[in-house]
Amino acid sequence: MKALKILLKTIGIIILLLIVIIPFGWMLISSFTPAEYLFMRNPSIIPESFWTGWYENVFLHSNVPTYFLNSVIVSASVMAVTVIVAALGAYSLTRFRFRGRELLSHVILCTYIFPPILLMLPVYRILNGLDLVDTFLGIILAHLTITIPLGIWMMRSFFAAIPLELEEAGLVDGLSKIGVFRKIAIPMSKVAIFSIGLFAFIQSWNEYLYSSLLLISTNRKTLSIGIREFIAHYDIRWGEIMATSVLISVPVIIIFISIQKYFIEGMTAGAVKE
C-alpha cells in the first residue's frame, strides 16, 4: 500500500507538472517559429527552423520595451511599499496593545477576501477624485490594495513567533523600540520579507484588471495590458503575442527560482503559525 501511494503521488505530480509545462513550452516554441510553420494545419512540436523575427518585431517595432520598463517600475514600487507597510503594520499589531487590535487584524484579513472586481468601481472613483487615474502612483495604490492585507497577516504570524525575551534583552542593552525592530525583529523575519516581496511583485506584474481600467496613455501601460495591441479587429499577431508572453513570464520565473526556498518557507510558516 505504501508503494502504491508513492506511485499515485508521483503520477499526480507528473500530471500537474505537464499541465503547467506543456502550455509554457508550446508558447516558448511558438515564439521562435516562423509564420509559415506557426500556422500550419498540423504544426510540428519541434520547429523546422529557429527564428527570432517575432522578438525583433516586439523590441524594434512595438511599444513593448516601454511597457516592460513600466511594469518593472510599478511592480518594484509595489514590492517595496508592501514590504515596508506590512512589516510596520504587523509589528504594531503584535507588539503594541491598543483597543480594537484583534478586530483590526481580522478586518485587514477580510479585505483580502473580496475579489478585485468588486472593488473596481470604488477604487476608480477614489483615484479619479484624487486625479490619479492614468498615473503610476494611481496604479501602484490600486495594486497595494491587493498585496498589503495578506502581507500584514503573514508578517504578523512571524513577529508573533519571535520570543519577547529577545526584544526585552535588546531594550536592556540600550536599544530603542525602533532599534529592536530594525536589529532583532527584521533580521529574524527575512524569510517572511522575501516571501511577501516576491508575492507582491508577482501580483503586480501579472495584474490586469486594475491596469486595464486605470492606465490609458500608451506611455504608461504595463506589459499585461500592452499585449492587447497585437489583437486587432481582423488580425491576431500570434507570433508577437507568444514572444511578449515569454517576456512577461521570464522575469517572474527567474526571481522565483532564485529565492524559491525563502518563498516556500515563508508561505508555509505564515499559514500555520498563530
pLDDT digits (tens, 9 = 90+) for 118-132: 888 888 899 989 998
Q: Which residues contact 68 (CB under 8 A, 6 or more apart)?
A: 223, 247
Q: Counting every residue, how long is the chain?
A: 274
C-alpha–C-alpha distance, residues 198 and 212, integer Å: 22
pLDDT at 95: 81
Sign of CA dihedral 241, 247, 253, 255: negative
The label of the residue with cell 499541465 reads: 19
pLDDT at 268: 55
Cβ-count burial of 53 within 10 angstroms (0-12 exposed, 13-18 middle, 19+ buried)? middle
pLDDT at 153: 83
Q: What's the pLDDT band for 140 if we cut at 50, 70, 90?
A: very high
pLDDT digit string, tens, across residues 43-76: 667 766 778 888 888 888 888 899 999 999 999 9
C-alpha–C-alpha distance, residues 220 and 203, integer Å: 18
The label of the residue with cell 527564428 reads: 51
Distance of CA 19 to the CA centre of its chain: 21
181 touches 162 (CB < 8 A): no
pLDDT at 262: 63
pLDDT at 239 exceeding the cut of 70? yes
pLDDT digit string, tens, across residues 217-238: 778 889 888 888 888 777 788 8
